[in-house]
Amino acid sequence: MFYAQLLVNGLVQGLVIGLAALSITLVFGIARFPNAATGDAMTLGGYSALAAFKATGSMALGGVAAFLATAVVSLLAYLAVFRQLANRSVVSLLVASIGVAFFIRAVLGVTFGHAQQVFMAPLSRPYVLGGVRITPLDLQLAAVAAIALAAVFGLLYFTPIGRQMRAVADNRDLARVSGVRPGRVMVALWLLAGGVAGVGGMMLGVKTIVSPESGWEMLLPAFTAAILGGIGSPGGAVLAGLLLGVAQEASTPFVGFTYKIALAFVIMLAVLLVRPRGLFGRVEGAR
C-alpha cells in the first residue's frame, strides 16, 4: 500500500519532470542545444499560474496562463537571442541560455519578491482507492498536464507544422531542400517548448512552492529524463519523466529527500555511459 502511494505521488512528480523534459528534448532535437533556461521558464509558468489562480480561483485558467505567458517569453528569447546565434557553436547557445535563465530569474525576483509563495488550493477530501489516497487536486493537475500533452502531441503528429518540426529534427538539410520553412518551424518550436515548460512549472508550484529559484532545481532531473528518453524523442521524454518521478519517490525512503536530485544525476551518468542514445532515441538524432 505504501508503495502504491509512492507510485501515485511519483506519477504526479513524473508529469512535472516529463513536461520539462519534453521542452528540453524538443529544443535539443530541433534547435540542437541543451536549453538551460528551461528551469527558469518553469518558474515563470509557476508565477503566471499563481497570478491567474489568485484572480480567478481556477486551476485550469492557471494552466492556460502558465502556457501562454511562458510560450510568449520563450518566443521572445528565441527572437532576441537564440535566432541570432543559430550558426554559432553549441557553447555560445549554451552560455546564452544560462544568461536567459538568469535574466528571467532576476525579473521574477524583482517583480514578485523572494518570499516563497504557495497555491492556496481549497482542501478537499482525497479519494481513497484500495487504500491509496488521491487528492482531487492531483487529478486536476494530471488533467491539465494531459490536456497540454495531448495538444502538443496532436500538433506534432497530426498537423503540417508538426510534421515539418519532426522533419527538421530528423535531418535539417533534407528538410530544407524538401521545402520546409525553418523560420515557421522555429517559431512553433519555441512557443510549444515554452508552453509545456510553463505548464510543468505550474504543476511544480502547486505541488511544492513558487520562488525565483524553484524551477532551476528541476533542470537536472529534466535533462536526465530528456537523455533517458532519447534526445529528440517527445514520447520518450514524457515516459522517462514518469519513470524518473516514480524512481525518485520510490527511493526517497532509502536515500532521503535531498538525494532525489543526486539520483537523477547518477541515472544520467549511467545512461550516457551505457546507452547514450537513451531508450527511444537515435544515435545521431541530436546532431
Partner 1 sequence: MDAYLAAIAIIALIYVLLSLGLTLQYGLTGLINFGHVGFFAIGAYTSALLALKGVPLILTFPAAAVLAGLSAWPIGLVSLRLRDDYFAIVTLGFSEVVRIVITSEKWLTNGVQGVPGIPRLFEGLQGFAAQAATLAVILAVTIVAVWMILRIAKSPFGRLIEAIRDNEEAVKALGKDPASFKIQVLIVGAAIAGVAGAFYAHYITYIVPDQFIPLVTFYVWMAVIMGGVGRVSGAVVGAAILMVFLEGSRFLRDIVPWISEVDMASVRIGVVGLLLILFVMFRPQGLMGDYTKR
Residues that bind partner 1 (CB under 8 A): 33-34, 36, 81, 84-85, 88, 90-92, 94-96, 98-107, 109-110, 113-114, 212, 216, 219-220, 223, 227, 256, 258-259, 261-262, 264-265, 268-269, 272-273, 276, 287
Smallest distance, partner 1 to C-beta of residue 230, A: 13
Smallest distance, partner 1 to C-beta of residue 51, A: 18
Of residues 135 and 217, the one with the C-beta less far from partner 1:
217
Of residues 27 and 206, the one with the C-beta less far from partner 1:
27
Smallest distance, partner 1 to C-beta of residue 257, A: 9
| CA atoms of 118 and 204, how far apart (whole Å) | 10
| CA atoms of 179 and 197, how far apart (whole Å) | 29
| CA atoms of 155 and 180, how far apart (whole Å) | 16
* 132 dihedral zone (left: phi>0; alpha: psi -120 to 50; beta): beta
Smallest distance, partner 1 to C-beta of residue 138, A: 27
- Of 66, 11, 28, 59, nearest to 44 (Cα)? 66
Smallest distance, partner 1 to C-beta of residue 155, A: 26
Bridge partners of residue 134, in order along the sequence: 127
Of residues 174 and 266, the one with the C-beta less far from partner 1:
266
Of residues 223 and 280, the one with the C-beta less far from partner 1:
223
Q: Using the Cα atoms of residue 149, residue 151, residue 152 and residue 154 in order, give the sign of their dihedral.
A: positive
Of residues 34 and 62, the one with the C-beta less far from partner 1:
34
Q: Using the Cα atoms of residue 177, residue 179, residue 182 and residue 185 in order, give the sign of their dihedral.
A: negative
